[in-house]
Structure 1
Amino acid sequence: MESNKDEALRCLAIAQKHRDAGNFPSARKFCQKSINLFSTPEAAKLLASIDAAASSSSASASGSGFSSSANATTSSTERNPSASGAKQRNGSANTNGGTAGGMGGEKREYTAEQVSVVKRVKACKITEYYDILAVKRDCEEAEIKKAYRKLALALHPDKNGAPGADEAFKMVSKAFQVLSDPQKRAAFDQNGSDPESRFSGMSAGRSPGFASSQGEMTPEDLFNMFFGGGMNGGGFGGGPFGGGPFGGPVFTASFGPGGFTSTRVRTGGARAGGAAAQGDDTGPARSLLTQLLPLIILFAFSFLTALPNLFSSPSTPDPRFSFSPTSRYNVERHTGGLGIKYHVHGPEFHNHPQIAAELAAREAGRGARGQSALSKFEGTVEHMYTQDLYNQCQRGLERRERRKDAEIGIFGIGTDWEKVKKIEQETVDSCEELKRLGVLRS
């Protein structure tokens, strides 16, 4: 159809581009579409050329591919003459045991002795920690560490490819985590079950003088505790076994809601790396300073507040007094404001520095500067006296009101109103005294 001719020519141009680029499947697709839309001699000729080019390219690729593959294999074998032997060893059965498939499909070797170790460990229940490590219940901590070192080396996945070695290695690591911690071991000896179920969140004990940082602990971390980086870490660095009790980082374990929690401990001895080790301590030091900052600010504020009092002489307390005379308070006095009578101890009153100086100034005909110490003291006397009278007045009025209510009774039936009137006219002595002093209005 003439209406499809333009679209057919467009598809033909696209097919030509794909053929020139060597993309023969796409070129054939667009060329065939051009023919279906509007058949032209050019399209038929291009389709034939595409098929011819595709056939030629396929034949040359298969021949050169085989040759290059063979050459690559030969070259690889020449460069690594042990590769062929390694593949043979990995693909064939070991004379002492066999092979097992590892991660990624690689074969891992193992011996009959390694298989027996795996079977012995896996025959134990997961909480039979002493049987897993093959130690007695009353053994020392050193025996537990020795048993773990031996089993960890025998069961580590990089050394033991026997089926179930990974699970046995985890069981050994769990048993060591429990029995190497005094708190967890005591809990296990008492209950016979995993301490995590009853001691969730309890952190392992730490020795004084150690700095620690929390992190999740895996069997590999526990293995690295003893062997300084694992089987692929380039040997046993540090002491006889690298880290742990033999030098380097120390780990302890605790049981929390998220599983095992490890505590990495740095001793106070010499550190490898010098400047790097000093950099590790910057974070904890800054964190400790941040925590103590509020206390430091509070202490500084308290010190600055009390600073003026450090350089001023303490004031002498006011003399003691009594409203009634006693053998000690035998000197009678009256306040200058309300004329309240009170009694003081003579030597104490007259030896008071401020009051004695003020009394001496009055006798000499001089007035006191500023607020008088004596008037301040007597103001305290008057306040206490009037406050006590006011409390007595309130209690007296309440008692009078209760008597009045009791006399009236319910709805005032049978009430002696004359008696009620007399109760209302009764006076309260403390209230009358306050009125006399002008403190309470009539």
Structure 2
Amino acid sequence: MSYTKEQEAIVLKVLSYKSHQFYEILSVKKTSEEGEIKRSYRKLAIKCHPDKNPHPRSSEAFKVLNKAWEVLSDPQKKTIFDQTGSDPTSRFSGASTSSSSPFASGRSGFASAGGGAHPFEDDLFNMFFGGGGGNSPFNSGPTFTFGGNGFTFQSFGGGQDPFMRHRRTTRRAAPRPPQQNRDQAQSPQSLWEGLKGLLPILLILIVPILSALFSDDTSPDYSFVPSREFNVERRTPRHNIPFFVNDHFTKKYENKSRQQLRNYDVKVENLFIQDKRAKCSREQIRKDQLIEDAVGWFTTDTEKLKQAENMPMPNCDVLRSLNLI
């Protein structure tokens, strides 16, 4: 199947970077936000997907993109990568990548960056894995035997014991107190830590209760919806928002100064705006979720997208009419 120059260019561009240049692979910067990284990955993944791009190396480029996304989409892996510059998903990220396997040629990652062998590579390998060949003093005889608490190195060859029959034993841990005593010692501290963690929540719950107990009347003095009880209209000073008060308000504030009444109106206005902002924020989150659901990986549901874009947002409309957003 033939492919276009653009399809070839995007594949070769992705493959031109080194395997750990994750930001360059996804065409983003280190300072890019999570949403920007996600959008760039989706755009490139669609262009490099083997079902969409017939280039013979598109599958390889798609895997490279997925690798970069795996690291940069995970906050913990991304932090490790930003600090170290190495692939956090690789157990051998600090070793040479010249071979396709960390165990190439029967070794376990001893090759140096220049491709040459370490002077002590063969001896170390033979010592621990029983390899043969060469004139190493560790080349013949039994490798080592286990026994007791730990292990004992035996003769490694030539009748000479390079470790002088060194015996390593495990250190016994100090006796631990019975579980019951430990639990009793930790119980008061754990209880206090738990109470400290719950203290903010308790304050939030207790303060309104105490306010209600010691206040003369907890019924509201106003409403934003007119009714038989709330039938006297007032207006807020800055945005001219209508609200309605009852007879209790009239009796309570009939002897108050003009400044006190204005402060009351300002308080009502602030509560109204705070309520609308919170509800508008929830409307915007819901709209973004619907748009994201409509835009798939490879196809976009135009009907769902249209519905999401035209979703009613009454609280945001109120704030917009007040020039607050």
TM over 0.5: no
Greater RCO, CA 8 A, separation 6+:
2
Q: TM-score, normalised by structure 1?
A: 0.23
Q: TM-score, normalised by structure 2?
A: 0.30
Whose Rg is larger? 1
Hey, which of these two has a bigger chunk of helix by percent? 1
